[in-house]
Each structure stands twice: as C-alpha cells, then as structure tokens.
C-alpha cells in the first residue's frame, strides 16, 4: 500500500517536473556564462576547484534554470547588512575550540578573540581576517568518544532559588549538555554546544533547598562522537554549608601571573565545512569570539545560499510541494531508510535533491533512479 501511495505522489511530481532534452533548450550558456568562466575547463583546474560543467554537458536532460543563471539557487543577491557571529566559553580554560557554523566559504570575515583572566583583566585581543575556503588544516576523526571524568559539585549560591555549578573533565575537547531535575526524569537542561574544552562547568538554576538533584552529562567532540554519563546526584546544600575554595580549574600548579595567548589556529573537521578556532593560553582565561561578515557585494553576491534554501525553498517556488513527496523530513520506522547514495542535509533530512538531480541527468524528470519503481523501493521496504 505504501508503494502504491508513493507511485501516485510521484506521478503528480512527474506532471509538474517536465524537463526538456538539452538540444531543445534556447539560450544555453547565456546568463550562466559568468559562472562557466571560473567553474569550467582549464580555469577551474587553475583555481583548484571542481569543473561542474564537464559532466553536465554530456547529459541528455538538463534543468532549464541551470542554463540561464546559477544565482537563483546558489547566490545571495538581495540587500544584506553585515552579520556578526558571537560565541563565548562557559568558564576559564587554558584551551578551547569554538565552532563557527553558517559561514560562506568565499567570504572574507573579520575575526576578534577577546580573552580575560580570572580576575577580569582583559588581554590584548587577537584579530585576523579569514576566508573559510582557504583553510587547509583538516583534522581526522579518531572514532573515540570523550571520556567523562571526575564529575562533582563545584559551588552554589543562594538567590530566590539556589544556583549550583557542577564540573567535570574530559580527555579530549568536548561540548556538553547536562540534564537535571529532582527525579531521574530530569526535565531541565544546561548546555554549551559551540565551545569545546577539557574542563567543563555547567550551571543548574532554579534549585530548591534540602532537595538532592539528579543530573546526567552528555559530552560530544567536534566529530559528533558522544559519551553519556550514568545518573549522578548532587545536593547544592553541600556547597552552601562547606568552607573552602571552589574548584576553579587552576589546581594544576599554574602560577598567579597574567596569562598570554600561546597559539591560535583555524581548522576544519574532515567531511565538514564548518570552521573551528582553537586557542591555547598560558593560564585559564575566559574567551569570547566574534566573526563579522562584510556587507559589500562581491562576484558571489553576498555569499552562497544555505543548503536548505538551495535544495528545498528555491524548488517550491516553481514546483508545488503539496502534491509531491514530503521534504524537510527524516526517515522514520523500521521499514523506511534513506540509502547513503541519496543525498540528504542536516543529519538525514530529505530534500527535493534527494530524489532529483538538480542540474541534469540521464533519466526523465531528473530522477536519480527510475521514479516509477526503483526510487520508492530504495527507501520504503515491505
């Protein structure tokens, strides 16, 4: 029954998605010629980029908009003001990796890293210009999840409610998410998903007196390798009643001198376009990083459109989405699986490009497989 329903949906898609053979197109290489000047032939080879046109020129069917202009799908052309990304560390660390998402590969960004020591003294800022496409330092995944070590209560303070801080270490830079609550159902969370370090401090807010709390730590490295702790308990009254100094991350013999920046480097994780920045300081520092995008237009407009726009939003401007297979969804259930050779975005999300080649193909309707049979059976198992 699922396959029959799929055939009906695809039949409607076919009626909406008529593609003419390449030799019947007029105006070929018209407005798209500016893109061909860099992305085809010897110029592409010289620039070290992929020749995207060579395989397309041999295909019997092409998507007409591709012959006219690349801009509607790939280039941000509208009026755009400058944009700033900001991320801060959750505590004072000697080393932190910041994750920067959503940057255009070809834009020139202004970077500023501001560091403060544990007394609040500001260090001279680190400034640089960065073009993501020019970052060549790529790190490989070791396949190992971070190890969560020495979890415990750090300190607590009383306001209207009680706020407690739990701390722990990991054996590799990781971000965190802490679930907590009065029972093992938790219900509240504290997280820092864009800063990766070996020392972690998570604030638990809205706590009540004389109530032990359950919490669970999830730590993830830059590749997505993840560890989850066992259920842990903490009584904030222990910190309110005890005497002594809270754990600050400086128990390893760091001298009480003003720290300095030892190194800053930019890199990418393998198979990811996100940019990562690592700083190393001579002592624990709190850090904030800002990345500012220039507002002026260049040969690529204001940058390249994000994946969801170029694979879903721009498609539905011409092709009615309501009459076709749903997009913007992930496969669910034991009988549904998207095979790895059908492209998805954002952790397995289906788009129009999952089933259709966006530029051209050797099958009618630009299907990646036979849209009347094979494409349905690739994902829906009976």
Q: What is the pLDDT of residues 165-206, one digit of tens each?
A: 999 999 999 999 999 999 999 999 998 888 999 999 998 988
CB 202 within 8 Å of CB 90: yes
The arithmetic mean of pLDDT across residues 344-356, rounded, is 83
What is the set of domains in the chain, with CATH numbers? 2-75+305-379 (no CATH), 80-301 (2.60.40.10)
SS3 state at 196: strand
Dihedral class, residue 219 (left if φ above 0, else alpha if ψ from -120 to 50, else beta) = beta
Give residue 339's pLDDT: 82
Dihedral class, residue 24 (left if φ above 0, else alpha if ψ from -120 to 50, else beta) = alpha
111 CB-near residues (< 8 Å, 6+ apart): 126, 127, 128, 129, 130, 277, 289, 290, 291
SS3 state at 133: helix
- Measured distance CA(203)–CA(45) in Å, rounded: 52
Q: Between 182 and 242, whose confidence is greater?
A: 182
Pick the closest to residue 357 from 12, 15, 19 (CA basis).
19
Tokens found for residue 195: 């800063």
Beta strands 126-130; 109-117: pairing state: antiparallel
CB 366 within 8 Å of CB 63: yes
Give yes or no for residue 150 having a pLDDT over 80: yes
CB 166 within 8 Å of CB 234: yes
pTM above 0.85, yes or no: no
User: What is the 8-class DSSP label of residue 249?
Assistant: S
Give residue 358's pLDDT: 84
Q: Between 188 and 317, whose confidence is greater?
A: 188
H or E element that contains 374: helix 374-379
> Number of C-alpha atoms within 13 angstroms, CB side, residue 196?
21
H or E element that contains 162: strand 162-181
Q: Between 217 and 92, whose confidence is greater?
A: 217
């Amino acid at each position: 029954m699922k396959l029959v329903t799929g055939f009906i949906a695809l039949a409607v898609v076919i009626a909406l998605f008529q593609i003419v053979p390449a030799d019947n197109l007029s105006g070929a290489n018209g407005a798209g010629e500016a893109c061909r000047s860099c992305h085809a032939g010897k110029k592409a080879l010289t620039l070290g980029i992929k020749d995207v046109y060579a395989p397309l020129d041999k295909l019997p069917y092409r998507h007409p908009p591709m012959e006219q202009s690349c801009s509607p799908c790939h280039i941000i052309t509208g009026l755009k003001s400058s944009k700033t990304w900001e991320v801060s560390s959750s505590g004072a660390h000697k080393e932190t990796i910041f994750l920067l998402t959503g940057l255009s590969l070809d834009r020139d960004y202004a970077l500023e890293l501001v560091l403060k020591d544990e007394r609040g003294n500001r260090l001279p800022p680190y400034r640089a210009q960065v073009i993501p496409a020019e970052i060549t330092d790529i790190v490989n995944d070791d396949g190992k999840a971070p190890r969560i070590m020495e979890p415990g209560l750090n300190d607590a303070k009383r306001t209207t409610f009680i706020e407690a801080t739990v701390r722990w270490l990991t054996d590799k830079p990781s971000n965190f998410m802490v679930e907590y609550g009065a029972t093992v159902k938790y219900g509240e969370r504290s997280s820092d998903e864009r800063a990766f370090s070996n020392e972690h401090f998570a604030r638990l807010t809205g706590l009540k007196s004389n109530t032990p709390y359950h919490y669970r730590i999830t730590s993830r490295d830059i590749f997505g390798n993840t560890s989850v702790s066992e259920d842990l308990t903490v009584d904030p009254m222990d910190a309110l009643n005890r005497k002594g100094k809270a754990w600050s991350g400086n128990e390893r013999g760091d001298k009480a001198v003003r720290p300095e920046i030892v190194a800053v480097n930019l890199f990418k994780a393998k198979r990811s376009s996100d940019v990562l920045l690592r700083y190393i300081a001579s002592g624990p520092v709190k850090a904030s990083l800002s990345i500012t995008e220039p507002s002026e237009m260049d040969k690529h407009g204001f940058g390249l459109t994000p994946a969801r726009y170029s694979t879903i939003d721009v498609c539905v401007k011409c092709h009615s989405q309501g009459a076709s297979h749903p997009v913007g969804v992930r496969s669910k259930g034991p009988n549904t699986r998207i095979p790895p050779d059908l492209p998805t975005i954002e952790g397995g999300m289906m788009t129009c490009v999952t089933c259709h080649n966006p530029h051209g193909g050797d099958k009618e309707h630009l299907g990646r497989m036979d849209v009347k049979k094979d494409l349905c059976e690739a994902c829906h198992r009976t």
